[in-house]
Chains A and B, each alone.
Chain A
């Protein structure tokens, strides 16, 4: 099953073109690592696939649903963890988790929420305001959302930033779990070593073109 199918995607900010005519497929069960120099448009591509921005040209579909016209359907199957942690500083970790799930139309019982927080290793801080969290703890809280929601498509923007060794291991574990349940993962990263532990394929976005690389070339 094809998770992401992009056809001739291009993006321009006014008269400044970031990339043009990108076409690629990502299958379910694949983890695609997107490399490239700063300013090449990795985050922009990820944001377009996350339906946060409109492409200037071309189209893409996620699990067979048009990403431009059927945004609401696409959003149900994907989850994005971007630079901003999407957390409210005044709410506790637990409340943030509750609210994030409510925004997805889900209400989950307290027990499994606590369980998810335990799994990502911040169960002890569940009732602390996010204001007091460290950057790594915020990342972990975001991962807890993935644990509960189990999205079919996971989009990660620089997932390894600000994470300690245990955090990296946990991120990779969660990525593997997503893959096992027939989901797909796309991440942008600079960290070749950490990404190659889980990535099944990848690409280098440079000069507005995407150069695909295989699993063998990655390692």
Chain B
């Protein structure tokens, strides 16, 4: 009985740990900072990720060779960007995308090194979360029921005799 709950407690704890680790990983690797946030001055030194749209009519430079300048906008905020990195696959005007790079506050320009697709991990998390949670809940309910039933049958001392009465029903 206690063993059962201990086992499921461990499963739960493990699940929570995994969720926590995934969230940490997401925060450091994948989450984006709002454009208005990076202007406030206290931006971190390491590369950050920003999301926005390439403003129409501003894209210039040799995009195929990985050199480009353009303006990047999100809501009311617009910042200039210098791109210098591997040839981007989907850098186009009016494209909503994610840039990786550093904010150079003195030059008032965002030095981008890489591009990425807009991450929509919300959907992924929802899909996995719904599936895992429902399955685990159902499994827990069933297993607990089985355990309680075994216990009840044993305790009612009806365990041994006429055990095959159901099997021989036909």
Spell out A's residues near B (CB within 8 Å). 56-57
Contacts and interface: CB of A to CB of B under 8 A. Distances in A.
Nearest to A56: B169
A11 to B, nearest CB: 12
Contacts of B169: 56-57
Contacts of B168: 57
A57 B168 CA distance: 9
Contacts of A56: 169
Chain B contact residues: helix, strand, loop or mixed: loop
Interface string B80-123: 00000000000000000000000000000000000000000000
A48 to B, nearest CB: 15
A3 to B, nearest CB: 26
A56 B165 CA distance: 10
A7 to B, nearest CB: 15
3 contacts: A56-B169, A57-B168, A57-B169
B165 to A, nearest CB: 9
Interface string B136-170: 00000000000000000000000000000000110
A57 B169 CA distance: 6
Nearest to B168: A57
B128 to A, nearest CB: 41
A2 to B, nearest CB: 25
A55 B168 CA distance: 13
Contacts of A57: 168-169
A11 B169 CA distance: 10
Nearest to A57: B169
A22 to B, nearest CB: 17
A56 B169 CA distance: 6
Enumerate the 3 nearest inter-chain pairs by beta-carbon distance, A residue then B residue, closest first: A56-B169, A57-B169, A57-B168
A97 to B, nearest CB: 38
A57 B167 CA distance: 12
A56 B166 CA distance: 10
A57 B165 CA distance: 10
A57 B162 CA distance: 14
A169 B70 CA distance: 110
Nearest to B165: A57
A158 to B, nearest CB: 30
A17 to B, nearest CB: 10
A103 to B, nearest CB: 29
B72 to A, nearest CB: 70
Nearest to B169: A56
Nearest to A68: B170
A56 B168 CA distance: 10
B149 to A, nearest CB: 14
A9 to B, nearest CB: 14
A41 B132 CA distance: 50
B77 to A, nearest CB: 70
A149 B117 CA distance: 85
